């Protein structure tokens, strides 16, 4: 019973954020660009490397995996996908250590910490085998 409440609550932030990013990607593209420049750079890779495409792919993953987790469809896989997508999002959007302004640094630190908490919840969800366990009679 608790899973039917907890999963949609955990998933909602990813679904709403993914939809918002798909509708308005520009701000997220600019946030992602410095991280992508550091990690991917000018390399020729067999996958899309332009920031807008990658941001939209990430938004689709968050939306799809969030819906799957929320509805309890392949919840462990969905939680793993969300966890994997949350790491670069957090590094790109909330690298508080790069901010000089104290107010900005504090705001980004709060969001960074929140994302760490979400990551912990997703890892618990990814490891949850509760529905498959046999209950003692």
Q: Please report the pLDDT score of residue 35 as a whole number.
A: 86
Check whether 2 has a pLDDT greater than 90.
Answer: no
Q: Please report the pLDDT score of residue 41 as a whole number.
A: 67
List the alpha helices (DSSP H) in 24-50: 26-39
The encoded tokens of residue 11 equal 């998933």
User: Each residue of 34-92: pLDDT tens digit?
Assistant: 888 887 766 666 667 788 999 999 999 999 999 999 999 999 999 999 999 999 999 99
Going by pLDDT thresholds of 50, 70 and 90, the confidence category of residue 135 is low
The encoded tokens of residue 12 equal 């909602």
For the chain, percent of residues with pLDDT exceeding 90: 71
CB environment 64-81: b (16+ within 10 A), e (fewer):
bbbbbbbeeeebeebbbb
Cα radius of gyration rounded to whole Å, the chain: 17
């Amino acid at each position: 019973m608790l899973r039917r409440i907890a999963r949609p609550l955990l998933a909602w932030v990813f679904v709403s954020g993914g939809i918002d990013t798909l509708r308005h990607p520009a701000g997220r593209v600019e946030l992602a660009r410095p991280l992508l420049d550091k990690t991917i750079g000018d390399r020729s890779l067999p996958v899309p490397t332009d920031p807008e495409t990658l941001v939209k792919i990430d938004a689709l993953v968050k939306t799809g995996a969030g819906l799957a987790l929320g509805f309890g469809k392949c919840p462990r896989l969905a939680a793993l996908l969300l966890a994997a997508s949350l790491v670069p999002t957090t590094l790109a959007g909330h690298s508080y250590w790069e901010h000089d302004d104290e107010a900005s640094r504090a705001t980004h630190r709060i969001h960074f910490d929140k994302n760490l908490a979400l990551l912990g919840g997703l890892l618990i969800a990814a490891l949850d085998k509760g529905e498959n366990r046999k209950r003692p009679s």
